[in-house]
Structure 1
């Protein structure tokens, strides 16, 4: 059941410059499950991704080719991709941390990858064992080789609004990191509010700084965490600035294993409810998505934190 079934208006009275359609970049299977304390069986992951595809999601970030020592929850990346049911029109990006990860991804037949950069010095050292400038020497051969192989590359930029060790992050610093990734060959930048401290005004300010710095808004995506309950407000602010790709996680799963204050991602169901209310197309069957999150919550042994999942599952 969604906005239409409840008789609620499908579009705000003043839609402004809202896009007509939004691409939902589903990160639950990677960013969500990597944060679980226990390893989810590979057959459950495969069914989770299959259910998400059948619910209408067309971009499913499936896993990460990170060393199992660092993220044991995703140690089954090759096995997962080998057994994953494929759907026409659905892409399955993976996160690649280095050249060894790229080798594994290419051997698995991956056609879309993402690299994960930091906008701050401290997080680069803690997450990448590098400094802010040196991280680009890690990414350059990965991006160059991937593009030469015909593989599309997305660049994640973490800590875009605040860092637990450094505090507020200047928009110009984030733009500098993003532009360097773009110059290396990333075709899209996902701007991450890793610890969930952004507000609508800071989202607008960062997006405006990117566009004034020569990066088209069409090349930007947003990735919000809901630590302070601002993820939907921040999403709306981004949509009004012209963003058309929004990252989210089915059921609100996820966080960040290297930033203890990071809580769950924006729930895909909550995002879909917002988009339906704004009259923005997205192609997702909300009931099927809720059923999927309820099913996965049963495997995880706890209820979904998504408010929309809880509300619709109780009907």
Structure 2
């Protein structure tokens, strides 16, 4: 079996991971989390989102986070931009790239952004066109690619269709997301093979939730397919407010431990990463869900 020699981890803990926390996280804590992740070697970080504070109050300080966090030539800070107003926020905050999203589930799309899948894609066209004009890279994701929280059948062909539309629109990367964590390794390969038939393999990313404990197995299957773009969340933070039953993202430190054991380079210092997982978990007042963070807690330098 041939595996990639290296991968790029896209850290979502500071946005996707924290957005559902009921307690408002101070801006300074978010900044320290991001700084610690960079110190651990993370090169791509989702730092926030420019959405209405009415819907996602936890992200109301994204502009402040972007203004105060230290910038690095080799680190990409991404922000989620659901519309032109969000895009303007991204530009004014000097984001390195923007993120857009659609879904393979019609019901999820309606509950998440109050429109159909096709309508969501139409809404993003002016955002992508503006980004192209401004030379700002666009990253995209496809939610509910392995199953719907509302019982719909999601076929690999449906996922491939949305992925191609996002790629053709101008996204340099399309992350295939198991929003409710129902995927299995065989299902993962079927979906990724379908997507790879319509867009280049090297632009495909994956985003797994560990609801049923399948995330690492699914990531391993993705590596076997040749995927090198992996989303993750420090301490396993996260979930989705519009997808019932969706628990946390796969933990970054669990992935890095697996990659280290496979001889696949991630560029991330596991020791520093685990310390970062405990930093944010201690603040939140609960242990990380990550098995690796728990196992290494008493072995840290």
Q: Is TM > 0.5 for Structure 1 vs Structure 2? A: yes
Tell me the distance in 2 between the aligned counterparts of 1:60 and 1:140.
Answer: 24
**Are 1:300 and 2:284 matched, yes or no?**
yes
In structure 1, what is the equivalent of residue 154 of structure 2?
A: 169
Counterpart of 1:36 in 2: which secondary structure?
Answer: coil
Which residue in the other structure is 1:142 paired with?
127
Shift of 1:164: 1.2
SS in 2 for 1:163: coil
**2:64 maps to which of 76, 79, 99:** 79
- C-alpha displacement at 1:260, in angstroms? 2.3
Offset at residue 168 of structure 1 (A): 3.5
| Aligned residues of 2:4 and 2:228 also touching (Cα < 8 A) | yes
Instruction: Name 2:247's counterpart in structure 1.
Output: 263
Output one character per residue of 1:186-219: Cα deviation in whole Å (capped at 9) or x when no partner. 111000000000000011001111122x311101
SS state of the match for residue 130, structure 2? helix
Between the aligned partners of 2:246 and 2:152, the Cα distance in structure 1 is 14
* TM-score, normalised with respect to structure 1: 0.93
The answer for unaligned runs of 5 or more in structure 1 is: 1-15
Counterpart selection for 2:49 from 61, 64, 82:
64
Partner of 2:6: 21
Contact 1:161-1:168 at 8 Å conserved across structures: no
> Which of 219, 233, 247 is matched with 1:249 structurally?
233
Q: Does 1:208 align with 2:193?
A: yes
Q: Which of residues 159, 174, 182 is equivalent to 1:197?
A: 182
Corresponding residue number in structure 1 for 2:294:
310
What SS does the aligned partner of 2:95 have?
Answer: coil
Distance 1:186 1:242 in 2: 19
Aligned to 1:31: 16
Q: Which has the higher contact order (CA 8 A, sep 6+)?
A: 1
C-alpha RMSD of the superposition: 0.9
Greater Cα shift, 59-68 or 160-169: 160-169
Q: Counterpart of 2:202?
A: 218
1:116-155 aligned at under 5 Å gives the runs: 116-155=101-140
8 Å CA contact retained: 1:95, 1:115: yes
Report the number of matched residues: 299
Where in structure 2 are there 5+ consecutive unaligned residues?
none
CA–CA distance in 2 between the matches of 1:256 and 1:169?
18
Which SS does the other structure have where 2:248 is aligned?
coil
The residue aligned with 1:6 is none
Q: Give every structure 1 segment of 4 or more consecutive aligned residues whose post-TM-superposition deviation is greater than 3 Å.
A: none
TM-superposed CA distance for 1:281, in Å, is 0.4
Q: Does residue 1:55 correspond to 2:30, yes or no?
A: no
Q: Is the 8 A contact 1:65 1:95 kept in 2?
A: yes
